[in-house]
Structure 1
Amino acid sequence: MSTEAEIYKALGDPTRLEIVKRLSSKRSCAIGELCKDLGISRQGARKQLQILVNANIASLKCVGRETKVALDITSLQQAQRFIAQLEKEWESRLLALKNYVESDK
């Protein structure tokens, strides 16, 4: 499983984020179809996809002469849980600050 840092680093690039957005609406997709109109070469797309694969966000599968790309939501769920935990911690801190400020001294 990838660390949150690897996941966020992979999602931090606008091109890779767009690829993930496109994959989120499809079951799987050929690389050429997925990267159409991204403004990058097929080789550039492969490089970006490899970063997503290394972060366990996407997987590649050869089907005949095509390589299909699929989204692996496990890492995205891990990142979401991390953000949710941070959100809970900050909510708690803000509530404590609010209570302190509003309390009678």
Structure 2
Amino acid sequence: MQSFQPLSDAFAALGDPTRLAIVSRLASEGDMTVQEIARPFAMSLPAVSQHLKVLERAGLIARGRDGQKRPCSLNTERLAETARWFDHTRAAWEGRLDRLERFLAQPQSPQPTFLKDDDHEP
């Protein structure tokens, strides 16, 4: 059986609004330094660094080295894994709902009613 721990770690990391915003910015703007990532947030650089560590441990970002800079980049493969899980789960639920819809659309034959012992007709 496959391990869901990497997927669980990714979802847990993305459950925080700040980390989700960081991932969104990296997706739309590309690689950034910690200072660039921290700019729109009302928090200290160490606080942003803690968020980045969580994202890195979850495999959602990678931190490189470019001279004295440590640019952060998005790990698109981990995001693709989460997207595949969502696609698989959505397809399974859509199949279930389609089967339920077909079942509910079928004409139902009347069900026999059974009288309880104390409900005898006179």
After TM superposition, is the score higher than 0.5? yes
**Length, aligned pairs only:** 105
The CA deviation string for residues 14-71 of structure 1, in whole angstroms up to 9 with x for no partner, is 0001101110122311110111021111101111001111111100012222211000
Deviates more, 1:25-34 or 1:93-102: 25-34
Deviates more, 1:61-70 or 1:9-18: 61-70
Identical aligned pairs, as a percentage?
26
Counterpart in the other structure of 2:75: 72
1:27 aligns with 2:30: yes
Higher share in strand: 1
Q: Which has the higher contact order (CA 8 A, sep 6+)?
A: 1
Q: Which runs of 5+ in 2 are unaligned?
A: 109-122
Q: How much is the aligned-residue C-alpha RMSD, in angstroms? A: 1.4
Counterpart in the other structure of 1:87: 90
Aligned with residue 40 of structure 2, among 29, 37, 40: 37
Moved over 6 A (4+): none
Q: Give 3-state SS (helix, strand or coil) of 2:71's partner.
A: strand
Please tell me the residue identity of whatever aligns with 2:44. Answer: S
- Say which one has the larger Rg: 2
**Structure 1 CA distance for aligned equivalents of residues 68 and 80 of structure 2:** 31
